Amino acid sequence: MFAAIFNVDGAPVDHSRFGVAGYDVESIDRAGHVAFVCAKAGPFSARGEAVGIRGLGGLFRIVGRVRLDARDELRSRLSDLPEAAPGEASDAELCLRAYAAWGDAFLDRLAGDFCFVLWDGSRKRLICARDQLGIRSLFHAEVGGTWFVSDSLDWIATRAGVARDLDDTWIADFLTVGHSLEVERTVYRHVRRLPPAHVLTISGTGITTRRYWRLHIGDPLHFRDRRQYTEGFLDLMSRSIGDRLSVGRVGIAMSGGLDSTALAACAVHVTGDASRVVAECLDFDEFESARERHFSSLVAKRLGIELRHRRGDNLVYDKQWWARSTTTPEPSALITTAHFDRDVVCERAERASVWLYGEGPDNALTFERNEYLSWLIGRRDWRRLAEAGAFYLRVKGLAGWWDTLKRYTGRRHPPDDSIGVPPWIEPSLVARLDLERRIAGVTPPGGVGAGLGPRHPWRPEAVAGFSNPIWPAVFADYEFEESLGPLVLRHPFLDLRVLEFMLSVPTVPWAREKMLLREAMRGRLPDEVLARPKTPHDCTLPFGSGLPGLSRNGSLDRYVDVSILSAGSWPGHRLRGRVLAVHVLDHWLATRRTDGIGSG
């Protein structure tokens, strides 16, 4: 945990008032109107993840969580400048040196997983930044001229003077779709979340928030030699994984699917030592367990890595979750598995301090065939249109066309996962927030959804998907998982170099069934794994009747008509999830009130 406290009126920070005992605290300037706070150093510190206060000269200070990509290239850029970066400089110190060299443009040269607060003593201002995709969180609040900035929502919410009124819009979103539709909101009305790719600047003369980066994908990458696609992808993946490794072993959260097994193969290649790579596969239900064990075991044997199987059926719902002491910063379904997750995380941490996850390819390699072909037609690029058509016909094959025929001629059933307002949401809340219109067009669970900004001409769904507010919610879940034990989770496919490459390859044929990964892994993974189709998991919630009774103390009444909820039977997967959300909210309200963080 780290934080900054800034009195913009120049008054010294009163440490006793703001409850910083037990933390490392440093007054940043002579007047004492800026203080940096961070949790005392513990026994664990993965490379680039240590939270501490660093300085450069007498003017600049930084506190935060910083792990940079391409740090050697950054050092090279800084080497000819007055504030040259020594080889042993930490990633946080590299941020400081970049700021000293390039001023406000320094964020244009940074990429990675980071959230930090930087103090510029020459201009008397705080610069608060969050990474491009929002892998790390940063929150802020202002009370009577005092600013609080931290990576911990709980820490800010418990500071003296910070109003704890709940944000009804955030809660309505949570009860309806499972996460906030506006990334700036938190469950507390007066505490805000800095959006991804944004920088907040605070000074005595004013406050500004600026977006410093946008995902930009130009024309498709066209190479004469098809091997350049796979070689380029493997080169970028190697750099990405190399930037995310720590000393010792690295773990892979590995199923028997393509993404995580490709990650394992690349990790073995980068480390050059299979004994440094360990993996764990979660198995669910008898049929799926046999299938996942089979494919993951094939990969482990081929790569020579240590693999453990963990039976996951008993880990997806804790029937006593409401009686546990664990809490979440905001209402979250993660509370229903946190007791089990803590054991898993701590056991994983004994094997490796850094674990790699395979998020990214499912979204970046969305197969948008029609959009790509229409774009080629619009540009009258007949040669590439013919090449794409020939590639598509060849890679799809007779079996693929037969599957397409069956899909279009078979009986279609309406999906159960369409988004709508659950019938038990308090009618006055629905009307006041215009909730029906608010969630119109929201993507069903599992979709990448619509993002912000203009529609991309040939990769509209994939590019827009990475602006979807579900991503910060997913990363917040991962941060909660990290809080349960001494490990760090990293996402090599979401390295901007890798992500932009995946989004830039011609959709036909490279995004069909993630052909880019399959071709890149040919000869590295077993053929049986490469031939395996995408296999969706059954996400049916198993709680059955194992839900706690609602508190009935009135705190839930402004959000839920409990009589409707109690009277109905809700068999659909989406509605079962929304029922669980009501119980999670009820539990959160009760525990927060006990902790002194009630509805204000």
> Residue 326 and residue 377: Cα distance in Å, rounded?
56
The most confident of the ranges 314-328, 447-461, 568-582 is: 314-328
How far apart (Å, rounded) are the C-alpha atoms in residues 356 and 366?
Answer: 22
Structure tokens at 302: 């081929």
Structural element, H or E, at residue 399: helix 382-409
CA distance 137 to 1: 11
Residue whose C-alpha is closest to residue 169's, from 450, 425, 470: 425
DSSP string, 531-549: TPPP---------TT--PP
pLDDT at residue 86, rounded to an integer: 60
Is pLDDT larger for residue 73 or for residue 419?
73
Tokens found for residue 81: 């400048």
Higher pLDDT, 184 or 445: 184
| Residue 15: predicted pLDDT | 83
Burial class of residue 168, CB neighbours in 10 A (0-12, 13-18, 19+)? middle
How many whole angstroms separate alpha carbon 31 and alpha carbon 9?
11
Q: What pLDDT, on the 0 to 100 scale, is given for residue 313?
A: 73
More confident site: 453 or 167? 167
Question: What is the C-alpha separation between 506 and 520, in angstroms, rounded?
Answer: 15
Confidence of residue 548 (pLDDT cuts 50, 70, 90): confident
pLDDT higher than 90, residue 585 = yes
* Residue 246, pLDDT above cutoff 60: yes
Question: Does the pLDDT value for residue 217 go beyond 90?
Answer: yes
Note whether 53 and 24 are within 8 A (CB).
yes
**pLDDT at residue 597 is higher than 50:** no
pLDDT at 41 over 70: no
Task: Please state, in angstroms and rounded to a whole number, the distance separating the CA atoms of residues 99 and 115.
Answer: 15
pLDDT, mean of residues 113-135: 97
Can you give the pLDDT at residue 413?
A: 45
- Beta-strand relationship, 60-68 and 34-39: unpaired
What is the Rg, in whole angstroms, of the alpha carbon atoms belonging to the chain?
Answer: 25
Q: Is the pLDDT of residue 56 over 70?
A: yes
Q: How far apart are CA 312 and CA 291, in angstroms?
A: 14
In the chain, the N- to C-terminal Cα span, in Å, equals: 24
Q: What is the 3-state secondary structure (H, E, C) of 128-176?
A: EEECCCCCCCCEEEEECCEEEEECCHHHHHCCCCCCCCECHHHHHHHHH
CB atoms inside a 10 Å sphere around CB 346: 13
pLDDT tens-digit profile of 16-33?
A: 888 888 888 999 887 889
Q: What is the mean pLDDT of residues 479-501?
A: 96
Residue 69 and residue 500: Cα distance in Å, rounded?
14
- Distance (Å, rounded) from C-alpha 525 to C-alpha 298? 9
- Strands 206-211 and 125-130: what pairing? unpaired
- Residue 546's pLDDT is 76
pLDDT of 488: 95
Is the model's pLDDT at 224 over the cut of 50? yes
The 3-state secondary structure of 513-533 reads HHHHHHHHCECCECHHHHCCC
> By mean pLDDT, which of 232-236, 509-513, 553-557 is the weakest?
553-557
Please report the pLDDT score of residue 283 as a whole number. Answer: 82
Taking residues 122-151, report their average pLDDT. Answer: 97
On the question of pLDDT at 266 being above 60, the answer is yes
CB 197 within 8 Å of CB 130: yes
Range with the lowest mean pLDDT among 55-69, 176-190, 572-586? 572-586
Of the candidates 517, 512, 579, the residue with the CA atom closest to the CA atom of residue 545? 579
Strands 112-120 and 125-130: antiparallel
Give phi and psi for 251, each to the nearest 5.
-100, 150
Confidence at 594, pLDDT banded by 50, 70, 90? very low
**What pLDDT does residue 556 have?**
94
Collapsed DSSP state (helix, strand, coil) of residue 25:
strand
Residue 43: per-residue pLDDT: 45
Proportion of the chain above pLDDT 90, given as a percent: 70
Give the per-residue pLDDT at 455: 92
Q: Say which range, 91-100, 282-291, 526-535, has the weakest mean pLDDT.
A: 282-291
- 226 vs 262: CA distance, rounded Å: 19
pLDDT of residue 98: 95
| Cβ neighbours around 293 below 10 Å, total | 15
Provide the pLDDT for residue 536: 62
Task: Express each pLDDT in 369-404 by its tens digit.
Answer: 999 999 999 999 999 999 888 887 776 665 555 555
Q: Is 557 left (phi over 0), alpha (psi -120 to 50) or beta?
A: alpha
Mean local confidence (pLDDT), 405-424:
60
Closest CA to 479 of 366, 345, 584: 345
DSSP state of 324: S
Alpha carbon distance 369, 371 (integer Å) = 6
Phi-psi label, residue 30: left if phi above 0, alpha if psi -120 to 50, beta otherwise = alpha
Alpha-carbon distances, residue 148 vs 31, 34, 349 (angstroms): 18, 10, 32
Name the helix (H) or strand (E) containing 327: none
Average pLDDT score over residue span 62-91:
82
What's the chain's average pLDDT? 88
Q: Is the pLDDT of residue 448 over 90?
A: no
Neighbour count for residue 210 (Cβ, 10 Å) = 12
**Least confident range of 36-40, 59-63, 575-579:** 575-579
pLDDT for 443 equals: 56
Q: What is the pTM of this model?
A: 0.92
Q: Are strands 354-356 and 250-253 parallel, antiparallel or unpaired?
A: parallel
